[in-house]
Amino acid sequence: MMLLTRGEVLGHKRYSEHYHSLTIVAPEIGERITPGQFVNIKCGDGSAHILRRPFSVYRVHKRGGWASTIEIVFDIRGAGTRHLSQLRQHSSVDLVGPLGRGFALPTRRAHCLLVGGGVGAAPLFFLADELRNDGHRVDVVLGARSTRMLLNPIEVRRLASISRITTEDGSAGERGRVTDGLEEMMERCETEIIYTCGPHPMLEAVSKVCVDKEIPVQVAVEELMACGYGVCMTCVMPVRSRRRGKDEVEEEVIYARSCTEGPVFNGAAVLWNGAAEAVAKDQSELSPTGVPVRQSFVDTSGDEHAPPGN
């Protein structure tokens, strides 16, 4: 159920020199939201702030009653996020949520590998908490262009059984991208499912590896979601879907709205850059734990507009 509410800023802090964090008391949303969903926040008044900005949720503290909080992490990209960066304790925040479809958690204990790039890794921290609470094993690959763009690598090492840090300039961890050595990491961790969030080229590369290895992959896409309600159609993704015809199941391509059918999709079903690459037949029917089940790919029922996690 989507709610319009006013929250109160409980705290403002920084992660490295690049990212801001706001912890907001919003019990109605905090008690309902799941990993991968997002909130839409009003970022001030005036013509530069007409549209709300979408943010994925970095952490949730469910305390029951009036005290539940959500935490968002962002970098400054324009007038809206600059406004948020100036909020301090007791400031009021107008927000809508929870929005979108989140990650599907495994139905039995599983080895889960989380792959995050830059600030796009934000929803994976919330997800890691939920997976660990359910008794699943969590391993993490975290990457960014440089040290200053990494999101809380110290916390990653605490959350993960096995962690790997990469930076493109080699300023922290290993030099390279998160996809370098991904197959080796999957074998080492005996990965059964991958969850990933970050820029599209990274999601495409991770999805391709998973398709080749027949490992289920869930991707949280970074799209410009101007309205957040599925009305404006600015955030559509080309996704394979299956529907039952008169005589057999037919496959088609639909344009799924990231703000309603997503932002989490089956990475094997997305047509990255419009390329309809062949997908292993079994991949389309893999459950979150790798057990073949019947399920369809999806249910067919400007920079400042930051994607979830930004």
The 10s digit of each residue's pLDDT in 256-266 is 999 999 999 99
Angle between helices 182-189 and 200-213 (to 10 degrees): 50
Tokens coding 3: 């709610």
272 shares its domain with 184: yes
Whether 86 contacts 30, CB under 8 Å: no
Tokens coding 8: 């109160």
**Interior angle at CA 269, CA 264 and CA 271, nearest 5:** 100
**Residue closest to 155 by CA, chosen among 12, 21, 295:** 21
Range of the domain at 267: 111-285
30 shares its domain with 72: yes
pLDDT, residue 216, reads 95
Considering 48-57, 150-159, 217-226, 268-277, the range whose residues carry the highest mean pLDDT is 150-159
Instruction: State the residue for tokens 């809380």.
Output: 152
95 shares its domain with 206: no
Which amino acid is located at 2 in the chain?
M
CATH number at residue 82: 2.40.30.10
Q: Which residues contact 249 (CB under 8 A, 6 or more apart)?
A: 242, 243
63 shares its domain with 148: no
Tokens coding 302: 């400007």
Average pLDDT value for the chain: 85
166 shares its domain with 241: yes
**Confidence band, pLDDT 50/70/90 cuts, at residue 286:** very low
Domain boundary among 46, 64, 99: 99
149 shares its domain with 129: yes
pTM for this prediction = 0.87
**Strands 174-175 and 163-167, bridge-based pairing:** parallel
Q: From the CA atom positions of the chain, what is the Rg in Å? A: 19
Whether 41 contacts 52, CB under 8 Å: yes
70 shares its domain with 158: no
Domains in the chain, number: 2
Q: What CA–CA distances, in Å, run from 176 to 247, 262, 270?
A: 49, 29, 25
Residue 307 resides in a domain: no
Give CA–CA dist 17/207, Å, rounded.
31
Residue 104 resides in a domain: no
pLDDT, residue 160, reads 96
Cis omega (within 30 of 0) for bond into 263? yes
18 shares its domain with 120: no
255 shares its domain with 192: yes
Whether 97 contacts 308, CB under 8 Å: no
Give CA–CA dist 256/224, Å, rounded.
13
- Residue with more model confidence, 154 or 278: 154
**Residue closest to 141 by CA, chosen among 106, 181, 109, 105:** 181
94 shares its domain with 129: no
Residue 298 resides in a domain: no
45 shares its domain with 150: no
Sign of CA dihedral 141, 236, 227, 298: negative
Residue 297 resides in a domain: no
For the residues 245-265, what does the mean pLDDT come to?
A: 84
The 10s digit of each residue's pLDDT in 41-63 is 998 877 666 788 899 999 999 87
84 shares its domain with 190: no
Residue 231 resides in a domain: yes
Residue 168 resides in a domain: yes
- Is residue 290 over pLDDT 90? no
Residue 233 resides in a domain: yes
Tokens coding 206: 């991770």
**Confidence band, pLDDT 50/70/90 cuts, at residue 309:** very low
Tokens coding 12: 């403002």
Residue 308 resides in a domain: no
Which amino acid is located at 235 in the chain?
C
Domain boundary among 99, 128, 146: 99
Domain boundary among 99, 119, 137: 99
30: left (phi over 0), alpha (psi -120 to 50) or beta: alpha
CATH number at residue 191: 3.40.50.80
The 10s digit of each residue's pLDDT in 189-207 is 999 999 999 999 999 999 9
Phi, psi of 35 (to 5 degrees): -55, 135
